[in-house]
Structure 1
Amino acid sequence: MTVSRLDPKRSAVLLVDLQDKLLPVMHEKTTVERRAGRLIQGANLMKVPVLLTEQYPKGLGRTVSSIAKQLDGAVCIDEKTRFSACSESVIRLLEKFDIKDVVVAGIETHVCVLQTCLDLLERGYTVALCEDAVSSRRPIDKKAAVDRMIQAGVLPTTVESVLFELLGDANSPLFRELRGIIQSRD
């Protein structure tokens, strides 16, 4: 497998199911919510497309307000009942923007995030998983899913690492603003 660095011109962020009735029961929910928020802010700053899914919103609620209010630049909010976020509309948008690399965050790691990442790999995308912005109710479920994804070819990373990789250079005019996003308190 050839691994290249993330490039903002060919990358997108995919946020999976950060919803009102799901997030409150997740392990380390506050950390996941804050890190996902930083990921959105950084992606918006660098004009990286943000796609978002909601699993059965009628029963599980909408995207949590702290995340939803940052989605000005989101290009897709896809409602789904399938566990994988790789719907036709999400794949069409990835193709439209000529996306090759997908940065994934969300919940639950061992269900929707896992199936999404496996489907993206199967379709030929490079998948970077922000381990600090995914969760499950039980830590063992998250660990097992992350281990499986890495064995399948998913690249483990963190929100901070992804954002600096996408930026690429401290001489960028966006560096100070991005540093402020990253250094905001947990």
Structure 2
Amino acid sequence: MLIEADTSCLIVIDIQQRLAAAMQAPAETVKNARILLTAAAELGVPALVTEQYPRGLGRTVPELGPAVAAAKAQVIEKLHFSSMNEPAFAAAFAATGRRQAVIAGMEAHICVMQTAAQLMQAGHEVFVVTDATASRTLASEQACLDRLQAAGAGIVTTEMVVFEWLGQAGTPAFKALLPLIK
């Protein structure tokens, strides 16, 4: 199945200051999350951003600030590892009315995995963006991706998401987003 801009919601999980510093390849993860947020803004895809215990882990990394604002993303603080167990997040996701969830974030094997699993249990199509998702170790990240794929999640890349959301070349949105992925 393809990821569709009019049926999906972008979820960016816990890409926070103190957490990002401990991840494998944090610069690539942040760069690709910024591309996803920018594409979501351009294409009208609703975006939700979570922050796990921001007093301890800091806020979302500053590099994502302009893209979060452009996407008009709702930023939701949480204590639960699964965003779906946080009432404010569950309500915000439900309010989007979207059936597809495109997920990026940290840590893959904890908050990303648990959120994705609960979204699938609730009947949503889930796509985990591997190059916009990270853990402290590659083994933990790979275990998450393997487990979610076995459960039915799509494992995708940033470019796959952007081009599936676009659907065709030659549009104003395509021209606006092309410099981000060249």
Place the TM-score, normalised by the shorter chain, in its bin.
over 0.9
| Equivalent in the alignment of 1:19 | 16
Does residue 57 of structure 1 match 2:54?
yes
Taking the aligned partners of 1:59 and 1:36, their CA distance within structure 2 comes to 22
TM-score scaled by structure 2?
A: 0.95
1:25 is aligned with what amino acid? Answer: A
Within a 5 Å distance, the mapping from 1:106-145 to structure 2 comes to: 106-145=105-144
Structure 2: runs of 5+ lacking an equivalent? none
Deviations 1:69-102 (A, max 9, x none): 2212233211111101112222222222210001
Taking the aligned partners of 1:97 and 1:180, their CA distance within structure 2 comes to 28
Within a 5 Å distance, the mapping from 1:148-167 to structure 2 comes to: 148-167=147-166
2:8 is aligned with what amino acid? Answer: S
| Equivalent in the alignment of 1:95 | 94
Does residue 82 of structure 1 match 2:55?
no
| Equivalent in the alignment of 1:182 | 181
Displacement of 1:12: 0.8
Taking the aligned partners of 1:49 and 1:5, their CA distance within structure 2 comes to 17
TM-score scaled by structure 1?
A: 0.93
Contact 1:10 1:97 in 2 (8 A): no
Taking the aligned partners of 1:98 and 1:25, their CA distance within structure 2 comes to 34
| Equivalent in the alignment of 2:29 | 32
Taking the aligned partners of 1:5 and 1:93, their CA distance within structure 2 comes to 23
Contact 1:6 1:166 in 2 (8 A): yes
Displacement of 1:148: 0.5
2:30 is aligned with what amino acid? Answer: E
Structure 1: runs of 5+ lacking an equivalent? none
Contact 2:83 2:90 in 1 (8 A): no
- Which structure has greater helix proportion? 2
Kindly tell me the number of residue pairs found equivalent between the two proteins.
180
